[in-house]
Structure 1
Amino acid sequence: MRDDKLLTKIAALLRQAEGTDNPHEAETFMQAAQRLATAASIDLAVARSHDPAGRTSTVPVSRQIAIGEKGKRGLRTYVQLFVAIARANDVTVDVAGNSTFVMAYGFADDIDTCETLYTSLVVQMVAASDAYLRSGAYKGEEFSRVVTRGTGWRSRRVIETKPLSPITARLNFQSAFAERIGKRLNEAREQARADALSADPDEASRPSSTAVALRDKEIEVSDFYRSESKARGTWQPSSASAGYSEAARKAGDRAGRRAKIGPDREFGGPRGALE
Structure 2
Amino acid sequence: MRDDKLLSKISALLRQAEGTDNEHEAQTFMQAAQRLATAASIDLALARAHDPAARKNTTPVSRQITIGVARKRGLKTYVQLFAVIASANDVTVDVAHNSTFVLAYGFESDIDTCEALYTSLVIQMVAASDAYLKSGAYKTETAERVVTRDYGWRTRKVVEETQLSPITARLNFQSAFAARIGLRLSDARDAAREEALTVADGPKTSASTALALRNKEIEVRDFYREKSTARGNWRSSSASAGYSEGARRAGDRAGRRAKIGADREFGTSRGALEA
Q: Same fold (TM over 0.5)?
A: yes
Counterpart in 1 of 2:253?
254
Contact 1:39 1:196 in 2 (8 A): yes
| Aligned CA-pair RMSD | 1.4
Match of residue 237 from structure 1: 236
Map 1:27-106 to 2 at 5 A: 27-106=27-106
* Secondary structure of 1:105 counterpart: strand
Unaligned runs of 5+ in 1: none
Instruction: Tell me, in whole angstroms, the C-alpha distance in 2 between the residues paired with 1:16 and 1:28.
Output: 10
Q: What is the aligned partner in structure 2 of residue 156 from structure 1?
A: 156
> Superposition pairs for residues 1-275 of structure 1, below 5 Å?
1-150=1-150, 154-202=154-202, 204-205=203-204, 208-264=207-263, 266-275=265-274
Identity over aligned pairs, percent: 75
Residues 153 and 86 of structure 1: CA distance in aligned 2, closer, same or farther (over 3 Å): farther
Contact 1:89 1:110 in 2 (8 A): yes
- Asked whether the equivalents of residues 38 and 89 of structure 1 are also in contact (C-alpha less than 8 Å), the reply is yes
Distance, in Å, in 2 between the alignment partners of 1:7 and 1:65 is 19
Using the TM superposition, give the Cα deviation of residue 129 of structure 1 relative to its aligned residue in structure 2, in angstroms. Answer: 0.3
TM-score by length of 2: 0.96
Q: CA deviation at 1:8?
A: 2.7
1:22 Cα deviation from its structure 2 partner: 1.1
User: Aligned partners of 2:66 and 2:2: how far apart in 1?
Assistant: 24
Deviation at 1:2, TM superposition (A): 4.2
What are structure 2's unaligned runs of at least 5 residues? Answer: none
For 2:165 and 2:237, locate their aligned partners in 1 and report how far apart those are by CA, in whole Å.
17
Question: Do the aligned partners of residues 189 and 174 (structure 1) sit closer, same or farther apart at CA in structure 2, a change above 3 Å counting?
Answer: same
How far apart, in 1, do the equivalents of 2:49 and 2:152 lie?
60
Rounded Cα–Cα distance in structure 2 between residues aligned with 1:25 and 1:268: 25
Whole-Å separation in 2 of the counterparts to 1:123 and 1:270: 15
CA drift of 1:209 comes to 1.1
Count the aligned residue pairs.
Answer: 274
